[in-house]
Amino acid sequence: MSGQRFKFLAIGVGVLMVFMWVILTQGPLAPVKVTVEKIQIGNLSNEVFGIGTVKARRSYNLAPIMTSRVKNVLVDQGEEVIAGQVLAEMDPVDLDDKLAGSQRVVEKTASAIQAGLAQESEAQSRLKTITATLTRYQELREGGFVSQEMFDAKVHEKNAAASALAAASANLAIARDEHSRAQADARGIGKARAQTRLISPINGVVAVRLAEPGSTVVGGQVVIQVVDPNSLWVETRIPQQQAGLVRVGQVAEVVLRSQAHSPVAGKVARIDMVSDAVTEERIVNVSLSKANASIGEYAEVTLKLPDLNDVRSISSAAVKRVNKVSGVWVLQKGEVVFKPVKIGFSTMDGRTQILDGLKDGDEVIVYSQQAMREGLKVKAVSALVKG
């Protein structure tokens, strides 16, 4: 009987030991399994990814300068147009009558100028003749051949001729001023009349048609948009951390949403001077070589940046944000410690440059079975098995 009791006791002890082993190695008291790596030093192939929209670098919105009724729209979306082509016409209302009236005023004032010139020429000739006669009368008066009254009469005639010449010159100046004002009015009405026709400024394509004949549009309201199809580019937003290496002329690969399986070659055409302080992004405009893209279409852009040589890096998955501080969890004597680090570039293949905060021998935790915290006991394994 005692032997059987000893047997049961041995079995119970064994079960208890197995149970304790399970708790300590596999259960809640077991160390958390993690994967670790050390800092790597080498070259990194650097690329930056961004999402943007297709826009036209050269786009022209055509609109009347005043409230008008649309008379004709001569083109439709997608049609090719040439510079100087009339695309739409507004109803001129009474502008034609005003223009004709102003032109008649111009002609009338031009005739008034001709009349003024004739009057001035006549007054000049009369003054010249009377001046010569007065000279002779003065000589005769000095010789006593004419009376003082006759001499004074000739002086009066000369003064009257001079006044007539001044009046003629003044009338001519008024006529010329009226003519200039009439010409200015005619030009203004002519420009207003010309603005009733919307003319293409470039050789391009009609991108948008926003009004139909009979509709009323206010001044500045777009009726037709014309774009240069050879000026399409993708307005792309990229992280500011990676914008420092972007240069005009660098190659890019563009994947349009409408052509997901056919990447299009591109090139950095412009880097905007203003960054978005909220999203911490900078706008990079990437031109498209050849693409059947629509304006406003989303596109994915990958920029090839210069390789990073001899840099210290770790897996990007190891970089965490704790209390708004970037850092990594480091394994020290079976426990974890959070170390703030200064990071540089992050590559698309999952590597992050470490500028400061880590030693070459530090073991950085990349993946873990649960969230890390200070003092947590962990166990390094080669890989985590999903259970």
Q: Give the pLDDT mean for 11-27.
A: 51
Q: Is 141 exposed, middle or buried (0-12, 13-18, 19+ CB in 10 A)?
A: middle
Under the banding of pLDDT at 50, 70 and 90, the label for residue 22 is very low
Q: Which residue in this structure is represented by tokens 């970089």? A: 319
The answer to whether residue 1 scores a pLDDT higher than 60 is no
Determine the pLDDT at residue 12. Answer: 60
Per-residue pLDDT tens over the stretch 211-252 = 999 898 898 899 999 999 888 899 999 888 778 888 899 889
In whole numbers, what is the pLDDT of the chain averaged over residues? 83
What percentage of the chain exceeds 90 in pLDDT? 19
The answer to whether residue 183 scores a pLDDT higher than 60 is yes
The answer to whether residue 204 scores a pLDDT higher than 80 is yes
Structural domains of the chain sorted by starting position, each given as residue range(s) with its CATH number in brackets: 29-44+310-380 (2.40.420.20), 48-57+227-308 (2.40.30.170), 62-87+200-226 (2.40.50.100), 95-194 (1.10.287.620)
Per-residue pLDDT tens over the stretch 45-80 = 778 888 999 998 899 999 988 888 899 999 999 899
Determine the pLDDT at residue 202. Answer: 92
Per-residue pLDDT tens over the stretch 93-130 = 777 778 788 889 888 888 988 988 999 898 899 889 98
Determine the pLDDT at residue 372. Answer: 78
Determine the pLDDT at residue 21. Answer: 45
Determine the pLDDT at residue 23. Answer: 47
Per-residue pLDDT tens over the stretch 285-341 = 999 877 678 888 999 998 887 777 888 888 888 888 888 888 888 888 777 888 888
The 3-class secondary structure across the chain, one letter per residue, is CHHHHHHHHHHHHHHHHHHHHHHHHCCCCCCEEEEEECCEEEEECCEEEEEEEEEECCEEEECCCCCEEEEEECCCCCCEECCCCEEEEECCCCHHHHHHHHHHHHHHHHHHHHHHHHHHHHHHHHHHHHHHHHHHHHHHHHCCCCCHHHHHHHHHHHHHHHHHHHHHHHHHHHHHHHHHHHHHHHHHHHHHHHCCEEECCCCEEEEEECCCCCCEECCCCCCEEEECHHHEEEEEEEEHHHHCCCCCCCEEEEEEHHHCCCCEEEEEEEEEEEEECCCCEEEEEEEECCCCCCCCCEEEEEEECCCEEEEEEEEHHHCEEECCEEEEEEEECCEEEEEECEEEEECCCCEEEEEECCCCCCEEEEEECCCCCCCCEEEECCCCCCC
**CA 280 to chain CA centroid, nearest Å:** 18
